[in-house]
């Protein structure tokens, strides 16, 4: 499993030439919060557009870099089409509150885990209760359900069914 924050900042290379295509600046999702692709850094001559790479054009998503098939995999997208993202969209996943259907806040999204080989589905969420709580108790990890209808991934919060504290696992600095 990889964390999204481990991907942000990684270099992107073109597989057949080894040319540097940019660095990952953000990750964007569709309306069902499925991973769609990566936003690359760099200057763009068109206003309100960014360079992107679709997830399906990523050949390798490793711990130290990403490889894409060709320079043609890099496209321009309007910022308005990237509404849901991890860091910078109109609706951003980072710091989104996670609450139960009973009204209890479990924490805020600190990071997102995904399996780069099996597909684009989010595997789990790392939750934070704040800096001091993270230092004293560690962060908690909430496994994403296999049935996407169990969680409501909304614009202002993620709503989950009622959970007891045993459903949340404590994680250290390493992956769960």
- Per-residue model confidence (pLDDT) at position 72: 93
Q: What is the mean pLDDT of residues 123-141?
A: 80
| Domain definitions of the chain by residue range | 2-91, 92-171
- Per-residue model confidence (pLDDT) at position 148: 63
> Which CATH superfamily, name and number, covers 2-91?
PRC-barrel domain (2.30.30.240)
Which whole-number Å values give the CA distances from 82 to 33, 45, 79, 110, 134, in the listed order?
12, 18, 5, 20, 30
148 Cβ contact partners less than 8 Å away, ≥ 6 residues apart: 32
What is the CATH topology of the domain spanning 92-171? SH3 type barrels. (2.30.30)
Q: What is the pTM of this model?
A: 0.79
Phi/psi at 174 (5° precision): -90, 170
Q: For residue 19, name the pLDDT band (cuts at 50, 70, 90).
A: very high
User: 2-91 and 92-171: same fold?
Assistant: yes
CA 146 to mean position of chain CA atoms: 17
Q: What is the mean pLDDT of residues 16-42?
A: 88
Q: Which two tokens stand for residue 10?
A: 């990684």
């Amino acid at each position: 499993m990889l964390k999204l924050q481990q991907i942000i900042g990684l270099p992107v290379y073109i597989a057949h030439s080894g040319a540097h295509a940019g660095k990952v600046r953000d990750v964007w999702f569709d309306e069902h919060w499925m991973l769609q692709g990566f936003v690359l850094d760099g200057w763009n001559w068109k206003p309100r557009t960014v360079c992107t790479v679709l997830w399906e054009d990523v050949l390798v998503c490793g711990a130290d870099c990403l490889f894409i098939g060709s320079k043609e995999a890099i496209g321009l997208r309007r910022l308005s089409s990237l509404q849901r993202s991890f860091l910078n969209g109109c609706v951003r996943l980072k710091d989104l509150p996670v609450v139960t259907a009973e009204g209890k806040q479990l924490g805020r999204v600190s990071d997102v885990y995904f399996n780069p080989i099996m597909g684009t589905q989010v595997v789990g969420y790392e939750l934070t209760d704040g800096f001091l709580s993270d230092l004293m108790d560690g962060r908690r990890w909430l496994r994403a359900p296999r049935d996407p209808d169990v969680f409501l991934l909304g614009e202002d919060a993620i709503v989950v069914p009622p959970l007891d504290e045993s459903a949340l696992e404590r994680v250290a600095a390493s992956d769960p």
